[in-house]
Chain A
């Protein structure tokens, strides 16, 4: 398949997908797609940390929670318009990531994994214990407003959110793609391959790793805002260890380091079980086994990440075809 046909197919696919709400898809399925979209953004942002930089981060739900709670508190207590809280949610999650990640990023893979699980649990326990008297304990926060978009009015129907969420997915994918194809994205891959060698060729590995955490967290924070305003109610249960496990699984199964793989992973892990409602309760059993099988037969995931392809500048482009 040539690059042109591939691009054409992707374009047609995206257009068809965007036309779905107009083609009479019921609100139930739109809600499912919205959920897939939210998980997709979260997984794409986790992909920067886990996929590109290769850091075993199992605490992404904590950053997501910070974003959602910042929006919920600012909106319900201080009556800040929901969409205005978006940058603040991202910022708060980013700062939180900076604080918790800087002491731990030097830890080896599996230890980082355990520590990040610990962080998610601490955040969840803090939320349940109504920390600062603002998080509403185990009942969480209710009555978050729907978002108002300038010029478009209030978003209420599932199809409104469909475009909000998938628009966000698209923007994120573009920005992450640019990031991946930059000196910085390349640096993360060097770190994943061999952190000692990366440091030895002049890459500030500690700062690169930390930035990966912060960018991922900022995006998780943004997603928290959208989630809070879509659900209108949030509680600690939505930000558990299991949410982090699901995100982790999406990235690993789909293909760490490959955005399309991660997108596919989101559809498989979140969307597919909806098609087989009877098997809903055993979906995690299935995916757990799938992780094991995958590691044995196809550890790089369904759509593995590829080496970046370059277009050489002249005169080299003609010289080395």
Chain B
């Protein structure tokens, strides 16, 4: 029981982070039918920007810890969103009318570029976030002591997802995004500026991804230049689980994957944790490529 509750909360917290990153994949895929391979690296960029603000800049020394986290998160979201926008302008927009293959390779090139840029700027070694950003307290739940930080990460990601959900479903801009995802041509005919919608998802997605980067830094305390690759693959798996292109699906998929991983690590083997994720990814693509809902991915013959 103890392991179960600890792993459930841990899995949900990590899953929340996966979900935030997965949203970026799924939104871009929804509108462009393109896997943004560089998305994981924008997430890593967010983690490093947060590191710079909190550690190198010592933001907390000026404004106190709580405001520091808020300001840091906002700034990281702005910068990551900007990076996403530039990525779209430079690496994807010129290829809008090329074949799929070119777009995929370009995305891959951008991913390699970002990952190495981060390594050159911040170094190849692990970097540590300051300890005790969230007070090192525990909360008692079902007879177990749950670290406060876990609750914080989970709540933060759920709140952000809810905000996004309402934004997508209740606002005009959100409607434009959904319409563009269903049929770009029709959306254009209805007077929706699809170009701006594309730019917008390339801002929102990386902004959420960057924020997830900061949350990883806070949660685990350590970040590394190639973390984007592993987290990216896992978040992508989450998006696939939920059915890529499907926003609530990505949220659900993230939480589910977090749980699967936590239990896999606890009850099967810690050393095989990452492999379990990839096996899930392969199984879903082979057996049920639509994910929980929607979007068929197998080539029709």
Judged by CB atoms under 8 Å, the answer to whether A and B touch is yes
Partner-B contacts on A (CB < 8 A)? 54, 56, 103-104, 106-111, 113-115, 117-119, 121-122, 125-126, 128-129, 195-196, 199, 205, 241, 245, 248-249, 252, 281-282, 284-285, 287-292, 294-296, 299
- Which of the residues A126, A284, A285, A287 comes within 8 Å of B275, measured between beta carbons? A126
A287 CA to B113 CA in the complex, in Å? 8
Residue of B nearest to A126 (CB): B275
Determine if B120 is an interface residue (Cβ-Cβ < 8 Å): yes
Q: Is the CB of B279 within 8 A of A122?
A: yes
Q: Is the CB of B282 within 8 A of A121?
A: no
Q: Using A288-B116, A289-B113 as known contacts, say yes or no to A114 and B299 having CB atoms under 8 A apart.
A: no
Q: Is the CB of A106 within 8 A of B110?
A: no
Point out the residues of chain A lying under 8 angstroms from B289, CB to CB.
Answer: 107, 111
- Which of the residues B101, B113, B300 comes within 8 Å of A109, measured between beta carbons? B101
**Size class of B's contact patch?**
35 or more
Point out the residues of chain B lying under 8 angstroms from A287, CB to CB.
Answer: 109, 112
Determine if B285 is an interface residue (Cβ-Cβ < 8 Å): yes
Q: Is the CB of A106 within 8 A of B109?
A: no
- Given A113-B104, A115-B281, A119-B278, output 20 extra A-B contacts at Cβ < 8 Å: A56-B101, A104-B285, A109-B104, A111-B297, A118-B233, A118-B281, A118-B282, A121-B233, A128-B271, A248-B108, A249-B112, A287-B109, A288-B109, A288-B112, A289-B109, A292-B106, A294-B105, A299-B99, A299-B101, A299-B102
Residue of B nearest to A129 (CB): B271
Determine if B7 is an interface residue (Cβ-Cβ < 8 Å): no
Partner-A contacts on B (CB < 8 A)? 34-35, 90-91, 94-95, 98-106, 108-117, 119-120, 229, 233, 236, 269, 271-272, 274-275, 278-279, 281-282, 285-286, 289, 297-301
Q: Is the CB of B116 within 8 A of A106?
A: no
Q: Is the CB of B274 within 8 A of A245?
A: no
A296 CA to B102 CA in the complex, in Å? 8
Point out the residues of chain B lying under 8 angstroms from A128, CB to CB.
Answer: 271
Q: Is the CB of B106 within 8 A of A295?
A: yes
Residue of B nearest to A100 (CB): B282
Point out the residues of chain A lying under 8 angstroms from B229, CB to CB.
Answer: 241
Q: Is the CB of A106 within 8 A of B299?
A: yes
Point out the residues of chain B lying under 8 angstroms from A56, CB to CB.
Answer: 101, 104
- Residue contacts A-B, CB under 8 angstroms, 8 given: A54-B101, A103-B286, A107-B289, A107-B297, A118-B279, A125-B274, A196-B300, A245-B108
A282 CA to B119 CA in the complex, in Å? 9
A205 CA to B301 CA in the complex, in Å? 10
Interface centre among A117, A241, A295 (most CB of B within 10 A): A295
Point out the residues of chain B lying under 8 angstroms from A296, CB to CB.
Answer: 94-95, 106
A248 CA to B98 CA in the complex, in Å? 20
A29 CA to B101 CA in the complex, in Å? 36
Residue of A nearest to B281 (CB): A118
Q: Using A296-B95, A296-B106 as known contacts, say yes or no to A108 and B301 having CB atoms under 8 A apart.
A: no
A122 CA to B98 CA in the complex, in Å? 33
- Return B35 CB to nearest CB of chain A, in Å: 5
Point out the residues of chain A lying under 8 angstroms from B236, CB to CB.
Answer: 114
Q: Can you list the 6 inter-chain pairs with the closest CB atoms, starting with the nearest?
A: A291-B109, A288-B112, A288-B113, A118-B278, A285-B116, A295-B106
A23 CA to B201 CA in the complex, in Å? 58
Q: Is the CB of B301 within 8 A of A196?
A: yes
Residue of A nearest to B35 (CB): A110
Residue of A nearest to B283 (CB): A103
Point out the residues of chain A lying under 8 angstroms from B94, CB to CB.
Answer: 296
A106 CA to B108 CA in the complex, in Å? 21
Residue of A nearest to B300 (CB): A196
A205 CA to B300 CA in the complex, in Å? 13
A56 CA to B236 CA in the complex, in Å? 17
Q: Using A109-B101, A129-B272 as known contacts, say yes or no to A115 and B112 having CB atoms under 8 A apart.
A: no
Point out the residues of chain B lying under 8 angstroms from A205, CB to CB.
Answer: 301
Q: Using A106-B298, A125-B272, A295-B95 as known contacts, say yes or no to A288 and B111 having CB atoms under 8 A apart.
A: yes
Interface centre among B91, B115, B119, B299 (most CB of A within 10 A): B299
A248 CA to B99 CA in the complex, in Å? 18
Q: Is the CB of B298 within 8 A of A117?
A: no
